[in-house]
Chain A
Amino acid sequence: MNELQQILDDSVTRLFAARVDREFLTATEEAGFSADLWSLAREQGLTHVLVSEQGGGMNAGWADAYVVVRACGRYAVPLPIPETMLGLWLLERAGAPPVDGVIGLLPVPIALAVDGTFSGDMPRVPWGRDATAFVGTTDDGRLVCFDTSAIAIREDSNLAREPRDDVRFERARPLALQPLDLPLDAVHWFGALLRSAQIAGAAAGCLELSVRYTSEREQFGRLLSQFQAIQHHLAELAGGMASVDTIAHAAFTAVDDDGFRTGGRDARFEIAAAKCRASEAVEMLTRISHQVHGAIGFTYEYALQFLTRRLWSWRAEFGAHGQWGEVLGRTAIEQGGDRLWACITN
């Protein structure tokens, strides 16, 4: 890690490790959005990592942002920090004015009416009810931003009991509408990128809890971690975590190379590989973590399930492994077998 990444890592760890525990997560599921934690995160600039210095941000790259997004996964942070980070980046990249507060991402491109307004339903928008603005793309590839003046919310949640709301727009007039040099379904691609890092983080959390629990709990007169069967479970968990962490980080780094702007090779192969691997890993990560924890891991008496329920949700959000595998499979076939190696190395 470079110096900035080390600083970011220290500060997110300090912020979240002490505050986001089982009691906090249990309470937040009832009470909803924690304005206190949000303002602390905002003060530390976590939502503005990718924003330029003139814009009041850190002017950091995606490889730096990786540290923050992964930490949001590792501590099961119940806030739309990654989503807002992406929304602000998209706004600035398109040259649109920034917005304050929570950004709700519109997961699919929208079609504007001839009068320039948007009417329609956006399903399962993360933290839709808490958003002060919505950011997405139009079906002709422009960035679009709305305020909340012409919307109706139908509340829903994912398995982690985090808000995933259906948002109905009624003749909503964009606050901003700007050309954007990204794929027209950019929110889908970058949303998948964010979730791959959150899965890597939650995987690390699962591994930590599993190592700790099996190193404390005794059965048959010895620690669980002294049983070879348990050791091999933990080794498998570590490999799964490391594989997701490596490819997710590679994808964030590839975005920094910015082939989207330069017209060179863009990050889509790495993003697809990262979300595919991350989503596929969820089954093994959650199965083994719960297996080594026994019944306690299945309850609200213990922190594991806050991570595993997020893993199950994030697996599907912005496309599960089947969908991203199809993208990669199609790429491989279009390139042809003889070009597959070049595809992986170039």
Chain B
Amino acid sequence: MLNLDSLRFPRHALPSALEDLRREVRAFLADALVPYSAVVRSNTWDGFDPEFSRKLGARGWLGMALPKQYGGHERSALERYVVVEETLAAGAPVGFHWIADRQSGPVIARYGTDEQKRRIIPGIANGEICFCIGMSEPNSGSDLASVRSRAERVADGWCVNGTKIWTTNAHRADYMIALLRTDSGGESKHRGLSQFLIDLKHTKGITARPIRDLTGRGHFNEVVFQDALLPADALLGTEGEGWKQATAELAFERSGPERYLSCFLLLSRLVDEVRDHASPATLAKIGAEVAWAATLRNMSLAVAGMLNEGIDPGLQAAIVKDLGCQFEQRLPGLAQELVALEPTLAGSGSDYQQVLGNLTQLAPSFSLRGGTLEILRGIIARGLGVR
């Protein structure tokens, strides 16, 4: 029987103290983002700039919810939420620290050893360490539990063989958290998986080959492990608990405001573009998307509130990502419907045209990364009790 309460997005009002933080972040961004062109800003969390990440770290705005004892700031998840939504909405280049701040840091804080936390978390909070995610494989995408890359116990550690793919930033990241098979797992493919913290800069036998995507850029990689030897303390968390840990990691990955803000810059540019010749029909179409933005912001904030209160927002997060991706993906098409300007490549055409060109090309990835639309709808159907 369907329980409608399980679908509720509890109203979450941010404490007014957070508005001071918001003002501070806005003021900082207003200055710090001056050098970046509109098209660079439209990359949001694909934008990669170590120097900018260090600046955010220096402000105390990375690793915000991580333990102080390891170099974090022990601020609330909601304070982090405010910083994240402000940087995304403004189009700050957050890609260098993005994975580390969002998921690797929290996973290490939860499952890591004292030594691992001591070694890694200060660098995350300072914006000096870049992480990548070692989950997907050439034959294991949405069906994540079918990973085949293996880590075998050897005399003084682990020997890794296999291939990871679609690994954003692997060619320039410092670390990867990889999901690897440590045991055949018998009849269950979920068992026998473990997570590893891999030092990409100091481990032999790892090759990252950039894969050029349709935008012409190469942040994707194929990462090949050939008898890569890891020290014994590369194991992250408990051997055989990798599936559970990776699922928890995915919850961090699916629940944030980045799931509806990828095209926000385009929406705000579109508003300016139509300003002087907007018909009532044009206003209505833009207004409907503004209503969506307000709706998604309320839903996203509810998810943040649930996380902050220790309530599992798995179902709500899947709904926000499903609706959020649809919102992001239809904006480039809407822009072309309303304004007679062609999308252009970076460097030619107006700012608006370049942003449109960039986001038109990026849009297909929105409903693929972090769980496809089909996977999310499956999760929602399970929440409705029909699966």
Q: Which residues in A have some Cβ–Cβ distance to B below 8 Å?
A: 63, 204, 207-208, 211-212, 214-215, 225-226, 228, 230-232, 234-236, 238-239, 241-243, 245-247, 249-250, 253, 269-270, 272-274, 276-277, 280, 321-333, 336-338, 340-341, 343-345
CB–CB B290/A340 < 8 A? yes
CB–CB A332/B290 < 8 A? yes
CB–CB A326/B291 < 8 A? no
Closest Cβ of chain B: how far from A93's Cβ, in Å?
Answer: 23
Further 7 A-B residue pairs, CB within 8 A, beyond A325-B290, A341-B264: A246-B9, A250-B11, A270-B294, A276-B291, A322-B284, A329-B285, A340-B290
Distance of A236 Cα from B387 Cα, bound (Å):
15
Can you list, as one digit per residue, whether each of B368-387 has a CB less than 8 Å from chain A (1) or not (0)?
Answer: 00000010111011011111
Can you list, as one digit per residue, whether each of B1-28 has a CB less than 8 Å from chain A (1) or not (0)?
Answer: 0101001110101000000001000000
A-B contact pairs, 11 of them (CB 8 A): A211-B384, A211-B386, A225-B386, A228-B378, A234-B384, A234-B386, A273-B295, A328-B283, A329-B284, A338-B272, A344-B290
Assuming the contacts A231-B386, A242-B299, A322-B284, asked whether A333 and B274 have C-beta atoms less than 8 A apart, the reply is: yes
Q: At the interface, yes or no: B286 with Cβ under 8 Å from chain A?
A: yes
Question: Which of A215, A243, A250, A328 contacts B287, CB < 8 Å?
Answer: A328
Question: Which of B287, B319, B376 contacts A329, CB < 8 Å?
Answer: B287
Q: At the interface, yes or no: B310 with Cβ under 8 Å from chain A?
A: no
A-side contacts of B269, CB under 8 Å: 337
Closest to B7 in A: A242
Assuming the contacts A211-B385, A276-B291, A329-B284, asked whether A250 and B298 have C-beta atoms less than 8 A apart, the reply is: yes
Closest to A341 in B: B89
CB–CB A241/B7 < 8 A? yes
A-side contacts of B125, CB under 8 Å: none
Distance of A212 Cα from B73 Cα, bound (Å):
48
Assuming the contacts A238-B319, A238-B383, A246-B299, asked whether A272 and B11 have C-beta atoms less than 8 A apart, the reply is: no
CB–CB B319/A333 < 8 A? no
Question: Which of A234, A250, A336 contacts B381, CB < 8 Å?
Answer: A234
A-side contacts of B323, CB under 8 Å: 239, 243
Distance of A228 Cα from B387 Cα, bound (Å):
9
Assuming the contacts A211-B384, A214-B386, A328-B290, asked whether A333 and B275 have C-beta atoms less than 8 A apart, the reply is: yes
CB–CB A238/B11 < 8 A? no
Distance of A332 Cα from B381 Cα, bound (Å):
35
Question: Which of B268, B319, B383, B387 contacts A340, CB < 8 Å?
Answer: B268
B-side contacts of A245, CB under 8 Å: 7-9
Interface SS of A by simple majority: helix
Closest Cβ of chain A: how far from B14's Cβ, in Å?
Answer: 9
CB–CB B378/A231 < 8 A? yes
Q: At the interface, yes or no: B154 with Cβ under 8 Å from chain A?
A: no
Q: At the interface, yes or no: B280 with Cβ under 8 Å from chain A?
A: yes
Q: Which of B280-328 contact A (CB under 8 A)?
A: 280-288, 290-299, 302, 316, 319, 322-323
Distance of A211 Cα from B269 Cα, bound (Å):
41
CB–CB B283/A330 < 8 A? yes
CB–CB B299/A276 < 8 A? no
CB–CB A253/B271 < 8 A? no
CB–CB B291/A280 < 8 A? yes
A-side contacts of B385, CB under 8 Å: 211, 215
The 8 A-B residue pairs whose C-beta atoms are closest, nearest first, are: A329-B283, A328-B287, A325-B287, A329-B287, A337-B268, A325-B284, A235-B380, A231-B381
Distance of A311 Cα from B11 Cα, bound (Å):
24
Q: At the interface, yes or no: B135 with Cβ under 8 Å from chain A?
A: no
Q: At the interface, yes or no: B278 with Cβ under 8 Å from chain A?
A: yes
CB–CB A326/B284 < 8 A? yes
B-side contacts of A231, CB under 8 Å: 377-378, 381, 386-387
CB–CB A321/B2 < 8 A? no
CB–CB B380/A324 < 8 A? no
Closest Cβ of chain A: how far from B88's Cβ, in Å?
Answer: 10
Closest Cβ of chain A: how far from B271's Cβ, in Å?
Answer: 4
Closest Cβ of chain A: how far from B321's Cβ, in Å?
Answer: 10
Closest to B8 in A: A245
CB–CB B287/A235 < 8 A? no
CB–CB B271/A336 < 8 A? yes
Distance of A228 Cα from B290 Cα, bound (Å):
32
CB–CB B271/A332 < 8 A? yes
Closest Cβ of chain B: how far from A265's Cβ, in Å?
Answer: 12
Assuming the contacts A247-B298, A273-B290, asked whether A235 and B384 have C-beta atoms less than 8 A apart, the reply is: yes
B-side contacts of A238, CB under 8 Å: 7, 319, 380, 383-384
Closest Cβ of chain A: how far from B369's Cβ, in Å?
Answer: 19
Most buried by B among A215, A241, A337: A337
Distance of A270 Cα from B240 Cα, bound (Å):
48
Distance of A235 Cα from B291 Cα, bound (Å):
21
CB–CB B2/A211 < 8 A? yes
CB–CB B278/A204 < 8 A? no
Q: At the interface, yes or no: B132 with Cβ under 8 Å from chain A?
A: no
A-side contacts of B11, CB under 8 Å: 63, 249-250, 253
CB–CB A208/B291 < 8 A? no
Distance of A286 Cα from B92 Cα, bound (Å):
40
Q: At the interface, yes or no: B267 with Cβ under 8 Å from chain A?
A: yes
Question: Which of A207, A226, A344 contacts B294, CB < 8 Å?
Answer: A344
CB–CB B89/A276 < 8 A? no
A-side contacts of B298, CB under 8 Å: 246-247, 250
Closest Cβ of chain A: how far from B39's Cβ, in Å?
Answer: 15
Closest to B286 in A: A329
Distance of A214 Cα from B385 Cα, bound (Å):
11
CB–CB B293/A344 < 8 A? yes
